[in-house]
Amino acid sequence: MPEGKIIKALSGFYYVLDGENVIQCRGRGVFRKNKITPLVGDYVVYQAENDTDGYILEIKERKNELVRPPIANVDQAILVFSAVEPEFSTLLLDRFLVLVEANGIDPVIVISKIDLLSTENMKRIQTFIEDYRTIGYPVISTSSVTNEGIELLLPYIKNKISVIAGQSGVGKSSLLNALNPELELKTNDISTHLGRGKHTTRHVELIELEDGLVADTPGFSSLDFIGIEVEDLSYCFPEIYKIGHSCKFRGCLHDKEPKCAVKEAVEKGTIKNYRYDHYMEFLEEIRDRKPRY
């Protein structure tokens, strides 16, 4: 049986790329029965009825998957956050970072719309950029208007499956258009009434770009930590996980335990206060999610 990769899911159809050909497929009823949904990025076995239509018979094992956006087998996440309009948020960025870290996906942080920054705000954003680079994250400043930073992003895309994600209105489609003007993806301005972007991307689709595949995804602004347990959270904060090895007690959650190396590092400034605050906020959120007896 032929095999391929789902590159688009739309209205119950799955578009499977097999070499040069794209086959429009439907999923078998057994998937619905077993509550399995084929995802963009899935490697599948399909049966072709003709040159253009077929049925998906089997979904190969996934190395990872995201719920929102719904996509599988991702190598890296390009997290796009605007410097302004909407305003840059470390809290929201850290939410995205936790989600992709928990799924074993490498993050690349892109700060968009830097052409709109005042000199004062540029210094503020630059401080955050240096913070995240010190942690070990690649951070690229870009402008889809001036094309600044676009070339620096291209090597990250090559030969990888990337999901491009972030709050709606940050310029994800504009960024993809800057990377490849032939895409002509629809973009929209920020809604001045709501202070956020209108959703211009309605479905998930893998787009061929620089010898890689990039997923343009529907915008979203909130994330739930489904499947992440309290003891897993520190893994998603690399600097906390690294310093946490020096804590006196094994399994320290860096909360109320004595002789916690992480809390000492926060006091010394080795770990940024806002990162620790976000860690604690997420820890409480995960705790509150669980039933209490």
pLDDT, averaged across the chain: 86
End-to-end CA distance of the chain: 51
Give yes or no for residue 163 having a pLDDT over 50: yes
CB of 197 closer than 8 Å to CB of 110 = no
pLDDT confidence band for 215 (50 / 70 / 90)? confident
Q: What percent of the chain has pLDDT over 70?
A: 89
Q: What is the pLDDT of residues 62-96, one digit of tens each?
A: 998 877 778 899 999 999 999 988 889 999 999 99
Q: Which residue has the higher pLDDT, 277 or 52?
A: 277
Q: What percent of the chain has pLDDT over 90?
A: 56
Please report the pLDDT score of residue 198 as a whole number. Answer: 42
Rg value, the chain, Cα = 21
Please report the pLDDT score of residue 52 as a whole number. Answer: 85
Q: Provide the b/e sequence for 182-193 (b: ≥16 CB within 10 Å).
A: ebebebeebeee
Average pLDDT over residues 146-159: 91
Give yes or no for residue 61 having a pLDDT over 80: yes
Average pLDDT over residues 246-259: 93
pLDDT confidence band for 224 (50 / 70 / 90)? confident
Give yes or no for residue 190 having a pLDDT over 80: no
Query: What domains does the chain contain, in order, with CATH numbers?
Result: 3-61 (2.40.50.140), 66-216 (3.40.50.300), 230-289 (1.10.40.50)
pLDDT confidence band for 191 (50 / 70 / 90)? very low
48: left (phi over 0), alpha (psi -120 to 50) or beta: beta
Of the candidates 14, 63, 237, 92, the one whose C-alpha atom is nearest the C-alpha of residue 161 is: 63
Q: What is the pLDDT of residues 92-112, one digit of tens each?
A: 999 999 988 998 899 999 999
Q: What is the pLDDT of residues 10-50, one digit of tens each?
A: 888 999 999 889 999 999 878 888 888 999 999 999 999 88
Q: Which residue has the higher pLDDT, 202 or 165?
A: 165
Please report the pLDDT score of residue 32 as a whole number. Answer: 80
